[in-house]
Amino acid sequence: MQALWISVPAITSLLVIVLLVMLIFGIVGINLLKGRSFYCTMDAVSGMTKNEKEDWIQTKQDCRNYGGYWARYHHNFDNIKNSIIQITVMSQTVNWPWIHYRMINSRGGDLVPGFKEARYLSFFFLAVVIFCALFIMNLFVGVIINAFNNE
């Protein structure tokens, strides 16, 4: 128990570094992904097959004209708070594939999602998961083990 108290200053300094890294990834996430989290709920659109909906509804205006509702995913990078929350979720490897798939399927601004339209965003998501989940979380474990060894 005493080793945990000894490691508190080191964990605190490491936590500051982690928050700075997440802030950097959050800012990059905003630059790459802001406004890409929208989709059209087409449940209210009747009389059309799924293929017709996908072919005819391409923009926000099309969605509203055909009676759909323009919505935003809960996982979004539209501001710094939401961006850091998503980076934190991804660093815990919880639901990061869902966030990843939704963002690479997005086509931007006022367009409905397509299928793997922005594959280049995979590099950002893989960098976040590898760096935050694997590297930084192992640093926390290393600090605690170092405190136990020094005791």
DSSP one-letter code for 66: T
* Cα-based distances in Å from 25 to 96, 107, 132: 14, 21, 9
- HSE-up (13 A, CA, CB side) for residue 101: 4
For the segment 17-32, the average pLDDT, to the nearest whole number, is: 94
The number of angstroms, rounded, from the C-alpha of 124 to the middle of its chain's C-alpha atoms is 10
User: Is pLDDT at 28 greater than 90 in this prediction?
Assistant: yes
| Cα separation values, 43 from 40, 62, 69, 75, Å | 9, 14, 9, 21
* Domains parsed from the chain with CATH numbers: 2-37+75-150 (1.10.287), 38-72 (no CATH)
- pLDDT, tens digit, 9 for 90 and up, residues 45-60: 667 777 777 788 888 9
Judged against a pLDDT cut of 90, whether residue 23 lies above it is answered with: yes
pTM of the prediction?
0.83
Q: How far is 54 from 40, CA to CA, in rounded Å?
A: 10
